[in-house]
Structure 1
Amino acid sequence: MSPVYACDQSAILKILLHSAKYPAASVNGVLLGRAKSDTRTVEIVDAVPLLHSFLSLAPALETALVQVSSYAKQQQDLELVGYYHANARFNDTDLGTSARKVADKLYSNNDAACTLLLDSSKLRSCLQKKTGEFLHLYLKDEGGRNWVKSPMDSSSLKYDSGSVLSVFLQMCTEGRHTKLSDFDDHLNDLSRDWRNENLLS
């Protein structure tokens, strides 16, 4: 039986803001959280935006993962519990080869790791309705070989979409998405904080 992935609002907001800052690019990042074996729940409490160009560029990605892993250990024993990805093309809901490779790397260190794919077309519809599901959950199959998409109405992924969408719209109105920094931004300007500790406050 697969674990339930419970996402805090802050993690989802950072995914959405990352995608909003770079709407013409694919973006990715990692999910931080805790796996609770007693309840078979993985709590996703934060998201760290990584790249918005050359998503599979090995040196930048390796450097980012080392730093994020070190940061996670300093934050109340958090660990890397997943990967998120948003495609540049509006109707593209495929987890491509480069995305799968990064997700595989995280899974090799944590077999509870999941992958979240932002569905841009669903997100547009959800923003109009102020509710609805816009994230695809991918989990490894029983053999650990392939990433398999869970149904969107699956109980395996839990988050308050209505509340998230409302806050996201407000933050975009305030231009908060332009203040987000991913690891790409940090490499270009070391003063940019990829942790985004004050972004949501």
Structure 2
Amino acid sequence: MDHWKAAKKVLRYLQGTKDHMLTYRRTDHLEVIGYSDSDYAGCVDSRKSTFGYVFLMAGGAISWKSSRQSVIATSTMEAEFVACFEATNHALWLQNFTSGLGIIDNAARPLKFYCDNSAAVFFSKNDRYSRGTKHMDLKFLSVKEEVRNEKVSIEHIGTDLMVADPLTKGLPPKIYIGHVERMGIMDKSLLM
């Protein structure tokens, strides 16, 4: 019965947002900015965390993902770092894609994305890390290498400004609406 209630909730959400659309702002300075987030052990069955990232350009989302992590994180910092790893991989792809299209000349500067976990940001920028399992070590080393090579830049942001929050957890309606609007999703009746 819980699945039926969840399905009805999804259908009500879709009905209520059918007039929403993705919007972009006119700007002379195009830049891709990302947000990476994770819950911690949110799946009640497997205790795997859910990560999410969203990349914005011209005030609107151009790419996003929400998925269960493939590994079980043993701390909030590890869960957030796995999200940073996934966001880093996608940021590198986006950088190559936008450069190839000639939209943005971002070869000279790293693609910036934000994380709301200060420990994950700290470990991405230095060599301190207590050794863990091999799969986590590889993720840490991969992200650190891209930060060191200035391909990506990971900056800390307050949780209240974390645009990727709706991709990882349920939020109160007012906060959810604020984050969705920051992604560039607007009700078309408000735009006219």
Give the TM-score, by structure 1 length. Answer: 0.31
Whichever structure has more helix as a proportion of its residues is 2
Larger radius of gyration: 2
Q: Which has the higher contact order (CA 8 A, sep 6+)?
A: 2
Whichever structure has more strand as a proportion of its residues is 1
